[in-house]
Amino acid sequence: MINVVIRPVTALDEPRWRELWDAYTRFYEREPVEEITRHTWARIMDEHAPVYAIVAESGGEVVGIANYLLHESTSALAPVCYLQDLFVDPAARTRGVGGLLIDRLWELTRANGWSRLYWQTRENNYRARALYDRYTPHSGFLRYVLSNPDAA
């Protein structure tokens, strides 16, 4: 394991966050869209938006990002934390960075009384699933998506 500090993202992290965000987007076979990237970053920086990010820093460089959302649920009284985006620089993988990001979100979940932390990944993302399976078994739920072609 490398020496890593997990901390909230700051405005100074934007250039590196964008690099990792773009790589994450391409990992999921999409091309980054500047308008979406700007909007996502603006929501992360907006203290009134329920979108947040933490970063993993090693040797003065951000090597991992975790973007998460807080939202209400019809099955719990307390808010729910959804880890929407988790990405670690390929050069820092297999060193525990992804786990440290999840551990920090779990700490925040417990400290803030959020009812649960959850995330999803592609079925064939075996490297990530090997990490995730150490935390909890797969929920067994399947995801269905209808995308509005008229929306951005």
pLDDT tens-digit series, residues 41-52: 999 999 999 999
Question: For residue 6, which phi and psi values (nearest 5 degrees)?
Answer: -100, 130
Question: Is it the case that residue 2 has pLDDT exceeding 80?
Answer: no
Both tokens of residue 64?
């991992």
Both tokens of residue 149?
């072609």
pLDDT digits 0-9 by tens, 47-96: 999 999 999 999 999 999 999 999 999 999 999 999 999 999 999 988 89
pLDDT digits 0-9 by tens, 102-151: 999 999 999 999 999 999 998 888 888 888 889 998 888 878 887 888 88
Structural domains in the chain?
5-132 (3.40.630.30)
Q: What is the pLDDT of residue 125?
A: 87
**Model pTM score:** 0.92
Give the CA distances from residue 44 to residues 9, 13, 90, 122, 140, in Å, rounded to whole numbers and listed in that order. Answer: 8, 12, 24, 24, 30
Question: Is it the case that residue 1 has pLDDT exceeding 80?
Answer: no
**Cα(110)–Cα(127) distance, rounded to whole angstroms?**
26
pLDDT-based confidence at residue 152 (cuts at 50, 70, 90): low
